[in-house]
């Protein structure tokens, strides 16, 4: 699968990454950026543990 370039700010730092479109934001944050504060629990989004604040 062709990777896509994403440019964004996280914790005030601009990041540029290339990821496959089938990866989740949670995966990107935890596995690529190595920021382990965001957790996975129910894997459906019901519990809110993996919530990420956008444009905040």
Tell me if 56 is assigned to some domain: no
Range of the domain at 17: 1-37
Tell me if 29 is assigned to some domain: yes
* Distance between start and end Cα atoms, the chain: 31
What does the alpha-carbon distance between residue 10 and residue 37 come to, in Å, rounded to a whole number? 12
pTM for the model stands at 0.75
Sign of the Cα torsion 27, 31, 35, 41 reads positive
pLDDT tens digits, one per residue of 18-35: 999 999 888 999 999 999
Tell me if 21 is assigned to some domain: yes
Tell me if 47 is assigned to some domain: no
pLDDT surpassing 80 at residue 41 = yes
What's the pLDDT at 4?
95
The count of domains in the chain is: 1
Helices (H) and strands (E) in the chain, counts: 1, 2
What's the pLDDT at 7?
94
Tell me if 16 is assigned to some domain: yes
């Amino acid at each position: 699968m062709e990777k896509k370039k994403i440019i964004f700010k996280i914790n005030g730092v601009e990041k540029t990454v290339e990821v496959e479109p089938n990866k989740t934001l949670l995966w990107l944050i935890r596995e690529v950026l190595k920021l382990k504060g965001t957790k996975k629990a129910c894997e459906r989004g019901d519990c809110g543990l993996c919530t990420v604040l956008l444009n905040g």
